[in-house]
Structure 1
Amino acid sequence: MHAPLLVFLGLDGLPWSLAQNLCAQGLLPNLAAVAGSPGCRAIRAELPELSPVNWTSLFTASSPGEHGVFGFTRLDPQSYELQFTDFTHVHGATIFERLADKGLFAKALNMPNLAPVRPMRAMLVAGFPAQDLRTSVHPPALAGILTDHEYTIEADTVRGATDPGFLLEDLHRSLACRERALDLLWPDMAWDAFFFVLTETDRLGHFLFPALVEPYHPWRSEALRFMAAWDRLIGKFFERYHDLPGPKRLLIMADHGFTTLTQEVDLNAWLRDQGLLHLSRQPTSEWDTQAMAPSTRAFALDPGRIYLHTKGRFAHGGLSAAEADQLGQNLVRALSGLTHNGRKIIRHAHLGREIYHGSQAHLAPDLVLVPEPGFDLKGKFGRTGMFGHFGRQGMHTADDVFFYDSMGSSARTPTEVGQTILDHFDIPATTFGA
Structure 2
Amino acid sequence: MFGLLKKDKGARVFVISIDGVPYSFMREHIDKGLFPNFKRFLDRGDFKRMNSVQPTISSVAWSSYMTGKNPAKHNIFGFVDQKPGTHDIFIPTAVNMSSDTIWEIMSRAGKRVFVMNVPVTYPPRPVNGIMIGCFLCTQIEKIASPPAVAAELKKMGYKIDADAWIARQDLDKFLDEVNIALEKRVQAMYHFMDKEDWDFFQTHIMETDRMNHFFWEHMEHDDPKYAKAFFKFYQRVDEVLGEVEEKLGEDVEFIVLSDHGFCTIKKEVYLNNYLAEAGVLKFNDERPQSLNDMHPESLGYSLIPGRVFVNLQGREPSGSVPPEKYETARETLTDVLLNLREKDSGEPIIREVLRREDVYEGENLEAAADLIAVPNDGFDLKGNVNKSVFGEKGPLVGMHTFEDSLLYIRNRTLVKKDNEFWVGDLAPTILKMMGLPVPGDMDGVALV
Deviation at 1:127? 1.5
In structure 2, the residue matched to 1:320 is: 322
Q: Give yes or no for the alignment of 1:390 onto 2:394.
A: yes
- Equivalence map 1:279-358=2 (5 Å): 279-281=283-285, 288-340=290-342, 341-358=345-362
Q: Give yes or no for the alignment of 1:206 onto 2:210.
A: no
Asked whether the 8 Å contact 2:45–2:409 carries over to 1, the reply is no
Deviation at 1:253? 1.1
- Equivalence map 1:105-124=2 (5 Å): 105-124=112-131
CA distance in structure 1 between the aligned counterparts of 2:405 and 2:235, rounded to whole angstroms: 20
Q: 1:35 to 1:400 in 2, by over 3 A?
A: farther
- Which residues of structure 1 form unaligned runs of 5+? none
RMSD: 1.9
In structure 2, the residue matched to 1:26 is: 33
Deviation sequence 1:277-326 (CA, Å, 0-9, x none): 222347786xx332333333211111111111111322321112232211
**Structure 2 counterpart of 1:173, which letter?**
I
Deviation sequence 1:65-112 (CA, Å, 0-9, x none): 100111100012333211111111101111111001111111111111
Asked whether the 8 Å contact 1:86–1:114 carries over to 2, the reply is yes
**Structure 1 counterpart of 2:313, which letter?**
K
**Structure 1 counterpart of 2:166, which letter?**
R
- Equivalence map 1:5-404=2 (5 Å): 5-35=12-42, 39-241=46-248, 244=249, 246-281=250-285, 288-340=290-342, 341-404=345-408
2:325 alignment partner, SS class: helix
TM superposition score normalised by structure 1: 0.93
1:39 alignment partner, SS class: strand
Identity %: 25
Deviation at 1:370? 1.5
CA distance in structure 2 between the aligned counterparts of 1:161 and 1:34, rounded to whole angstroms: 36
In structure 1, the residue matched to 2:3 is: none
CA distance in structure 2 between the aligned counterparts of 1:395 and 1:299, rounded to whole angstroms: 22
Mean alpha-carbon deviation: is it higher for 246-255 or for 148-157?
A: 246-255
Asked whether the 8 Å contact 2:167–2:395 carries over to 1, the reply is no
In structure 2, the residue matched to 1:415 is: 424
Q: 1:284 to 1:204 in 2, by over 3 A?
A: farther
CA distance in structure 2 between the aligned counterparts of 1:430 and 1:66, rounded to whole angstroms: 13
Deviation at 1:207? 0.9
Q: Give yes or no for the alignment of 1:429 onto 2:439.
A: yes
CA distance in structure 1 between the aligned counterparts of 2:391 and 2:324, rounded to whole angstroms: 32
Q: 1:201 to 1:355 in 2, by over 3 A?
A: same
2:37 alignment partner, SS class: coil
Mean alpha-carbon deviation: is it higher for 120-129 or for 62-71?
A: 120-129
CA distance in structure 2 between the aligned counterparts of 1:278 and 1:229, rounded to whole angstroms: 50
Deviation sequence 1:209-265 (CA, Å, 0-9, x none): 023323345311121222222222222222222xx2x43211211011001110111
- Which residues of structure 2 form unaligned runs of 5+? 1-7, 443-448
Q: 1:182 to 1:430 in 2, by over 3 A?
A: farther
CA distance in structure 1 between the aligned counterparts of 2:305 and 2:169, rounded to whole angstroms: 22
1:40 alignment partner, SS class: strand
